[in-house]
Structure 1
Amino acid sequence: MSGHILFSIEGAVATITINRPQARNAFTLDMYRELKQRVDMASADHQLRALILTGAGNEAFAAGTDIGEFRSFASPDDAVAYEDFIDEVLGSIERCRLPTIAVIAGACTGGGAAIAARCDMRIAGDNLRFGFPIARTLGNCLSAENLGQLAGLVGPQRVIDMI
């Protein structure tokens, strides 16, 4: 455990805190793996009634994947495998038997926005910045599953605007 994904329980509510504020809570691949483990663990605990996901600090819920994680990609197949992996992580949130609530402050972009979109409810502070700058910054895009999820939430035109 890295200490970058915190897990706590208070009463019947579990909270997962993305705890890498010095990097705007950007995810490493290990953090995504730990997030999935914690979501699955909470879902299996029948004493729990809700799961909150939030980011440490007030600057960002999560700024997506740390760009340094992409340096190891050697081929287009690596990018496809990454998107499949992210879909698996996000699917665990969507399949969670508990109501999932994203409590969002600051930047909620890229993978962070995809995580929030998969939650059942989103509660945002007045400093929310939500979007998917990855098409401009990294030259890639979301998987078809993520695009469909977003279009269902906000409509296709808003998704086009965000991307």
Structure 2
Amino acid sequence: MSYNNILSSFKNGITTITINRPKKLNALNKATISELHEAFNAANIHKETQVIIVTGSGEKAFVAGADISEFANFSGEEGAELAQKGQDLLFNFIENLNTPVIAAVNGFALGGGLELAMACHFRVASDNAKMGLPEVSLGVIPGYGGTQRLPQLIGKGRAMEMIMTAGMIDANKALNYGLVNHVTTQEELLNLSESIGLKVMRNSPVAIGKAIEAVNAGFKSGVNGFTKEIASFGACFDSDDFKEGTTAFLEKRKANFPGK
């Protein structure tokens, strides 16, 4: 599939999606959000893809924010529609994919860029990364899930401070806060992300998908995460992956999971 604003490549079970608007610091506009949805959906249904990595092109930015020029003159109704559509099409969509998604955060991840990274299942950052939600400096608040996911990841107090000051934190502070899982050099960022992806790929795709569903359920209003875990745990028993995994364990050999 051909894209104007992103690149997508596949190798060794990993699909890497790169936001490719370096002159705009990879800012998210409507067209890019739409293309990202298409690329993530295509990777998720691609039978050979077991892990997805998303990153930004160039050395300066993962995603430096949303394209403000697209909505500077919006009404309140139009703004709410923008946030709803973006959350449904991309951010919530990524969070609920059964294929694990790793954000390889290179450089600036601000506003919608940090929200994109937080929608992924976990994050690896380069040591030059800077992260923040500066929306209040523009007279608006994060609209792509930032007010919800940031407190879940780093706690309410720290999230309130980051949002209200509109400040940025560096990669090491993000690691200390639990916002990212690992920090490495810019040169090693994709290598480390791929290395982690390969470790994930050793395990059952069915079980990983069910684990994602169960973990996410614990953060959803009106959903009992323990009940979801029990149902997902039981569903694993009906999978070919469970049969292969337990048989391989008893036979003292490496499992070859069929992914179904």
TM beyond 0.5: yes
**Greater RCO (Cα-Cα under 8 Å, separation 6 or more):** 1
Match of residue 118 from structure 1 = 119
Show structure 1 runs of 5+ residues with no match: none
Q: Are residues 112 and 156 of structure 1, via their aligned partners in 2, closer, same or farther at CA, if it must alter by over 3 Å?
A: same
Match of residue 109 from structure 1 = 110
Q: Partners in 2 of 1:123 and 1:16 — Cα distance?
A: 15
Match of residue 59 from structure 2 = 58
What is the correspondence of 1:89-100 to structure 2 with a 5 Å cutoff?
Answer: 89-100=90-101
Tell me how far 1:86 sits from its aligned partner: 1.8
What is the correspondence of 1:11-160 to structure 2 with a 5 Å cutoff?
Answer: 11-71=12-72, 73=74, 75-88=75-88, 89-136=90-137, 138-143=138-143, 145-160=145-160
Q: How many equivalent residue pairs?
A: 161
Q: Partners in 1 of 2:106 and 2:79 — Cα distance?
A: 29
TM-score (norm 2): 0.59
Letter in 2 for 1:160: M
On the 8 A contact 1:2/1:31 being kept in 2, the answer is no
Quick check: which has more Rg, 1 or 2?
A: 2
Q: Partners in 1 of 2:72 and 2:123 — Cα distance?
A: 32
Secondary structure at 1:48 match in 2: coil
Tell me how far 1:134 sits from its aligned partner: 1.1
Secondary structure at 2:66 match in 1: coil
Q: Partners in 2 of 1:125 and 1:96 — Cα distance?
A: 25
Q: Partners in 2 of 1:145 and 1:21 — Cα distance?
A: 24
Secondary structure at 2:47 match in 1: coil
Secondary structure at 1:162 match in 2: helix
Tell me how far 1:2 sits from its aligned partner: 4.7
TM-score (norm 1): 0.93
Q: Are residues 19 and 144 of structure 1, via their aligned partners in 2, closer, same or farther at CA, if it must alter by over 3 Å?
A: closer
Secondary structure at 1:26 match in 2: coil
> 1:50-85, CA deviations, whole angstroms, 9 ceiling, x for partnerless residues?
000000011000012111111452x11000001101
> As a proportion of its length, which structure holds more strand?
1
